[in-house]
A and B are shown apart, each in its own frame.
Chain A
Amino acid sequence: MTPPSRLTPYLYVLPLVALLAFVFGYPLLRIFEFSFKMVRGIDGPWIGLRNYQLVLGQSLFWESVLHNLQLLLAIPVMVGISLIVSVLLSERVAGWKLYRIIVFVPFVLAIPIVAVVMKRMFQFSGPVNEMLRWMSLDFMALDWIGSSDVALWTVMILIIWRESALGIILFLARLLSLDESVIEAAKIDGANWWHRLWHIILPEMRGVIEFYVVVSVITMLAAVFSYIYIMGGGRGGPGTSTEVVELYIFNALIRSSLPGIASAASVMLFLVTGVLIFLLFRVRRRAEAT
């Protein structure tokens, strides 16, 4: 019997690799190609870097980038909330398993559903403002989704509320896997709750926190479309106050019939996200090593 060639295993996986290359690689190549063309319908003439020049020269694109960067401010809040709630749950207070399910519910619900509900709640005459007025806090009854100055912060509240749920579950899973004897030993040695958190728990959680931060950064830059689309009236409004890069791409492709422009912006977003994913893997590797 002839021993199998070294190539044999590769031949076995070749069909799947070819399928994946076709499903993911081909569209990606086409997007790169389109970004250098003035596409009308399904193709168009080669125009070099013109699409990139137009995108980078448009104030709206930079406004969109700025909004994505503003959303990054949500990440420290999400980490803080996730840490506090997960640590409290890990203390195994009465009913903690039920609380665990409740705090994870936002993440299970589809974004469009929670966004539609939130939008109703934050309307000028909606329940949030009605409650504030009832509490005689009229000065806090803002036009949450109708004011250009406030709308992006309102979206951020929704994102924090939903995305923190993932952080809580990730952090809680890590907390529950900690070696309890170390914590017990610290207790016996007289370490109070704060000391245990600062000197034992947080260092042990460093890897998962870094992971969550990198995932959240990617989310804020490239995965907030659903939130923005619904809360911003489908247009990143009012005006362009909640427009983000994903919506910019969507508008260019679907509403302005500019596939070349959409592709150029997509390529840039892809490259930035690619760098972040690379960082994610490095962080994970380092976390595993420690």
Chain B
Amino acid sequence: MDNSAYPMFTRRSLMLSSAMLAGGAALGGLSKGAAAQVKDMDMWYWGEQELPGLQKYVNDSVAKYKAATVKPMLQDTAVVISQFQTAAAAGNAPDVQYLWNGIYHMESVWLGYLRGLKSLIKPDILAASNPTMLSHFGGDIYRTGWYPLPMFWCYNKTLFEKAGLDPEAPPKTWDELLVACDKLKSSGVEALGGGIQDGYWSEWYITHSLPQQLDSLGEAVELFIGDKDFNDPKYHEHWVKLAELKTKGFLNKDMSSLELYPGIDLVVAGKLGIGQTIGTRLPADSKATGGKIGYMTMPVFGKGKLAATPVVDVQGLGISTNAEDAAAAAAFLEFLQSPEQLKAFWEATNWLPSNTTFDSSVIQDASVRGLWENWGLKSNISNVTNLMPGQFYERAAIPTGQQIVAGSMTGEQAGELAAKTAKEWKDFNPDMVENYRKWVKDLSSPT
């Protein structure tokens, strides 16, 4: 055999190579040990999709943060929950995780994937971030608030003027709303609505209308899991009211075939009098109309304690139980709530951070400032639909609104479907019922 093509590899050189490799490995270990003094953390988040500029803000923030190396990863909408839960079950969850409100993170709490934050984050910082009641469970809190999503009814002031309505005094009661709709219709514009084809309008309608008959958010949970009955007229009155709007011809004719955002665009374009919208749209919509988009709480028909209370949903961040150094993760969350970071958030996203200490003097737009002062700083409730089990949301909350608007269901029938779905949920999820009942206790404390 001719070995000339092969380099000489003696036992000596083998030992030398081995020694060098071992030395290299040891040095590598040392350097890794040295690097471990600056902690490595993972942060999975979502939000660029609804708040352009958030990704830049996150990247800038982690670059600025020196106490740890934070590796951010923007998640796809479809996997925000499943990706986290799968990783957590395998023991590989990120240290910091983006969390939607309510059941969208509470299920992870019940599965033991999230840490309570009361012992990790300073109480004043945690409270100022407004994690909302929906993050409370078993006496602990599982998220810090990150950015708020005020939800409200919007209206076109120009169309109000044209219809002889006072644009600065939107309707406050249901009867006033019917009068306003009648006047708008008489002036030749479609009075109220938007787009319900993708279902979200249906959800938002419940967000604003169901609490009108409730005394606490816990009562809503009791409805969704079947401990209270949607067949009770007061619990399906909101659907009866929607059917009334349909019967009176106040809803826009193409509502069933339009999606949510094109529906809101109709209000901005001056083709629809009143609609439902969300705070993050307000700066652009206000600018596009020269400040002619007004906002209001849903006109009142109910007698519950929560009626006429502004709705503010809040997106948040939490710490996984897989986090090796929970204190370090908590320090990073506190850093995000510092005054400098709140200002940086506003500059990057042109939207509000969720913190009651935010210096709102930077807000130029009067509508946005008013929204922050009236929705963000005053008494508010969170989005009640975030308390719904997914099954109820898909089988009852969305289809009922769509079918009422399409004219193929009455308010009473909607109540029947909701009651049936709540019972069905219990059959499908017997192991979840007790968790929800415990949650009711947290949610029934004064809001």
Binding site for B on A (CB under 8 A): 38, 40-43, 54, 58, 60, 122-126, 143-149, 233-235, 237-240, 251, 254-258, 261
Contacts and interface: CB of A to CB of B under 8 A. Distances in A.
Q: Which of B78, B82, B86, B88 has the most CB of A within 10 A?
A: B82
Given A123-B257, A147-B256, A41 B89 contact: yes
A149 B85 CA distance: 39
B197 A146 contact: yes
Interface string B243-257: 000000000011111
Contacts of A144: 257
A129 B424 CA distance: 40
B14 interface: no
A130 to B, nearest CB: 11
Interface in B409-433: 409, 424, 427-429, 431
A38 B89 CA distance: 16
Interface in B325-381: none
A258 B428 contact: yes
Contacts of B4: none
Given A147-B406, A237-B402, A238-B197, A125 B89 contact: no
A70 B409 CA distance: 22
Contacts of A143: 254, 256-257, 406
B90 A42 contact: yes
A16 to B, nearest CB: 28
A144 B257 CA distance: 8
A102 B78 CA distance: 35
Do most interface residues of chain B lie in helix, strand or loop, or is the interface mixed? helix
B76 interface: no
A124 B253 contact: yes
A256 B390 contact: yes
19 contacts: A40-B111, A42-B85, A42-B86, A122-B257, A123-B254, A124-B256, A143-B256, A143-B257, A144-B257, A145-B256, A145-B257, A146-B254, A147-B256, A149-B408, A233-B198, A233-B259, A238-B256, A239-B406, A239-B408
B199 interface: yes
Given A233-B259, A254-B78, 9 more contacts: A41-B88, A42-B89, A123-B257, A145-B257, A237-B198, A237-B199, A238-B256, A239-B409, A255-B390
Do most interface residues of chain A lie in helix, strand or loop, or is the interface mixed? loop
A257 B107 contact: yes
A38 B431 contact: yes
Q: Give 10 closest A-B pairs by Cβ, nearest first.
A: A146-B256, A146-B257, A124-B254, A233-B198, A256-B391, A239-B399, A238-B402, A256-B390, A239-B403, A123-B257
Contacts of B107: 257
Contact of A239 (B253, B402, B429): B402
Interface of B: 78, 82, 85-86, 88-90, 107, 111, 196-199, 253-259, 389-391, 393-395, 398-399, 402-403, 405-406, 408-409, 424, 427-429, 431
Nearest to B424: A58
A258 B424 CA distance: 13
A50 to B, nearest CB: 9
A203 to B, nearest CB: 46
B175 to A, nearest CB: 29
Q: Which of B389, B395, B409 has the most CB of A within 10 A?
A: B395
B78 A237 contact: no
A286 to B, nearest CB: 43
B255 A146 contact: yes
Nearest to B111: A41
Contacts of A149: 408
A125 B197 CA distance: 13
Contacts of B257: 122-126, 143-146
A234 B395 contact: no
A58 B425 CA distance: 11
A143 B258 CA distance: 11
A257 B103 CA distance: 11
A240 B199 CA distance: 11
A255 B89 contact: no
A135 to B, nearest CB: 19
Contact of B198 (A54, A235, A251, A254): A235
Contacts of B429: 258
Nearest to A58: B424
A257 B253 contact: no
